[in-house]
Structure 1
Amino acid sequence: MSEALPLYAKVKDHILGNIRSGAWAAGHRVPSENELVESFRISRMTANRALRELTSEGFLSRVPGVGTFVREAPALSSLMELRNIAEEIAQRGHRYSARVISQSEIESNPALNEEFEDRALKRLYHIVIVHEENAVPVQLEDRYVNPLAVPDFLERDFTDTTPTAVLLAATPVDELEHTVEATLPTPEQQRLLSIAALEPCLALHRRSWSRGKVATVATLTYPASRYALYSRHRTTARGTFSQ
C-alpha cells in the first residue's frame, strides 16, 4: 500500500484485497473496529470510517451487536426477458418460496382500461405475491391479468408455481414493454419486503401482449440491496438492436 494513502484508505484497501482475492467470501466476518485498531495501530475513528464507507459502498454488511460481514453480491434478474423468478433462484442453488398476499377477481377502472388498451374491459384478475430467496423477500409482484388470456388463472396454486410460468404456458408473448424507476417503499411495501423506510427499491413496470392484446400488467418491486436488473443484447454497429 502506498504511504501517501490516508490511514482509513489503507484499511479499506486491505479489506477489499481480501474480498477480491476470494480469501474472504460472502458471509465472512471481517475484523472488528477493535481488531483493526490493534492491527493497524490506528484510532477507533479511523477504523470506523473504513468500515462505514465499505458498508455504504455495498461491500460489507454490519449487524449491530454481532459484527461486520462480507456482503453477498445482489442477485441478477433479466430486465428485457420474461424469466421465471423461481427458476432464476434455483439456478443459483438457492431455495425459492412464495407468499400469496391476495388473489381475486376485481372490477376494472378507467386507469386499468387504459393500461390494457381496452375501454370495454369490465373485470380483471389481480394477484399480489412476495417472492423469497432463502426465506428473504426479493420481489413484490403486483399483477393484473386479462381473464380472456388465461381464464383459469385464479385456480392455480401460486405457492407451487409462479404467474410468469402460468402465463408463458397458457399464451404466446408477442411484445413486451418495460419501465424502470427508483422508488422509496410505501409502508405496505416495507412490511411485505421486510425493509426500512429509506431502503431504495427498483420498480419494474411491465406490460405483455399476446395475440395483439395486452394480456397482463405487472409491477415488480425489488429491494435494491438484494437484487439488480440487467440486460445484454447484440446490436448493430450503430448501437441499435440487431434484428
Structure 2
Amino acid sequence: MTGQVLPSPWQTIDLESILDSAADVPVYQQIKDYLLERIHAGDWKEGDAIPSEQELSKQFGVSRMTVNRAVRELTAEQVLTRIQGSGTYVAQHKYQSTLVEIKSIAEEVHARGHRHRSELHLLERAKASELLALPFGLKPGAPLFHSVIVHFENDVPIQVEDRWVNPAVAPDYMQQDFSAITPNEYLMAAAPLQGVNYSIEALSPPREIADMLHIQSKEPCLVLKRRTLSKGQAASVVTMWHPGSRYQFAGSF
C-alpha cells in the first residue's frame, strides 16, 4: 500500500483498486500495513483510538476474523493496545526506559570516560535458517544481513555482537562503516524502535567467541539476547556475549 492515497477510515474502499500492486500479500498483512501507515503519518498518535474491527471489516470488505488477526498481531507487537469494553488504541511506548535501555556500546564506554573501538569479523548476506526465520516471522531461506563485531574498551574486548538484520527494515545495513558507527546507532536511526524482547543468561562461550574475547572457554559469559521491532516487523535479532569477569548489567526502576 506504500505510496497510494487511501480513503478515510470511515469510508468503504475498493479492495481491487488498492491491492492490485500487492496481490501476493495476505489481506490481513495489508490491513496491518495500512494501520501502520496511518500511525507513522501521525494520523493516529499515542493514546488515540483506531476504528473498530467492525468498521475496518466494512472498510476493507473482508471478514471481521481477518481484521482481528491484523489487530491482534499489532497488539502483540506493542503497536496497539486493547482496553476491554472501550476499544483499541495506539500504544504508549514506555518499555524503552522501564524494561531495558537500548544504548550503543560505544555510548556506554564513552560515558565511563574510556576509549571505544571495534573490529568487524563478519559482514555477509545470508539466508534465514528454519530456526532463525521464526523470530523474524519470515520463511526459511528469506534474505538476512549478518554481522559479527567485537567491541573493545581501552583495547580490552568486552562484547562480541552477533547480529542478524531484516533487509526490509534496514536496507542499507551492508553499506555502513562499522568502525565509525555501531550497528545499534545505525538501526536506531534507520528503524525507529517499536518494541523489544530480551533475555539474559550465563553461558559458557563457544571456542570462537572465547578467542574473540581473549578468555578461556570455561569462563562464563553474560549473554544478552534481544529482538527489536520496527515498522511492524522484527528489525534485528542479536546475541551479545560479555566476559563475566569484566562486565555486569545494572539498572533501576
Return the TM-score normalized by structure 2: 0.60
- Contact in 1 for aligned 2:125/2:144 (Cα 8 Å): yes
- Contact in 1 for aligned 2:116/2:153 (Cα 8 Å): yes
CA RMSD of aligned residues (A): 1.5
Query: Residues of 2 paired with 1:110 and 1:217: CA distance?
Result: 14
Q: Which residue does the alignment assign to 1:168?
A: 188
Query: Residues of 1 paired with 2:252 and 2:240: CA distance?
Result: 20
Classify 1:120/1:189 alpha carbon distance in 2 versus 1 (closer, same or farther; 3 Å).
closer
Runs of 4+ in 1 over 3 A off after TM superposition: none
Q: Which residue does the alignment assign to 2:44?
A: none
Q: Which residue does the alignment assign to 1:184?
A: 204
Q: Does the alignment pair 1:130 with 2:142? A: no
What do the CA deviations read for 1:80-127 (whole angstroms, capped 9, x no partner)?
Answer: 121011011011110000000000110112111101122276100000
Query: Residues of 2 paired with 1:231 and 1:118: CA distance?
Result: 33
- Contact in 1 for aligned 2:150/2:157 (Cα 8 Å): yes
Query: Residues of 2 paired with 1:105 and 1:79: CA distance?
Result: 31
Query: Residues of 2 paired with 1:216 and 1:157: CA distance?
Result: 18
Q: Which residue does the alignment assign to 2:80?
A: none
For structure 2, list consecutive stretches of 5 or more residues without a partner in the other structure: 1-97
Q: Which residue does the alignment assign to 1:101?
A: 121
- Contact in 1 for aligned 2:169/2:231 (Cα 8 Å): no
CA drift at 1:154: 0.6
- Contact in 2 for aligned 1:178/1:206 (Cα 8 Å): yes
SS of 1:97 mapped into structure 2: strand
Q: Which residue does the alignment assign to 1:204?
A: 224
Amino acid at match of 2:231: R
SS of 1:230 mapped into structure 2: coil
Amino acid at match of 1:128: V
Within a 5 Å distance, the mapping from 1:129-168 to structure 2 comes to 129-168=149-188
CA drift at 1:231: 2.8
Within a 5 Å distance, the mapping from 1:5-16 to structure 2 comes to none
What do the CA deviations read for 1:57-95 (whole angstroms, capped 9, x no partner)?
Answer: xxxxxxxxxxxxxxxxxxxxx971210110110111100
CA drift at 1:229: 1.1
CA drift at 1:197: 2.1
Query: Residues of 2 paired with 1:95 and 1:139: CA distance?
Result: 14
Amino acid at match of 1:168: M
SS of 2:249 mapped into structure 1: strand
For structure 1, list consecutive stretches of 5 or more residues without a partner in the other structure: 1-77, 234-243
Q: Does the alignment pair 1:221 with 2:221? A: no
Q: Does the alignment pair 1:193 with 2:213? A: yes
Q: Which residue does the alignment assign to 2:133?
A: 113
- Contact in 2 for aligned 1:79/1:230 (Cα 8 Å): no
Query: Residues of 1 paired with 2:109 and 2:157: CA distance?
Result: 12
- Contact in 2 for aligned 1:124/1:144 (Cα 8 Å): yes
Structure (1 or 2) with the greater strand fraction: 1
Aligned identity (percent) is 39
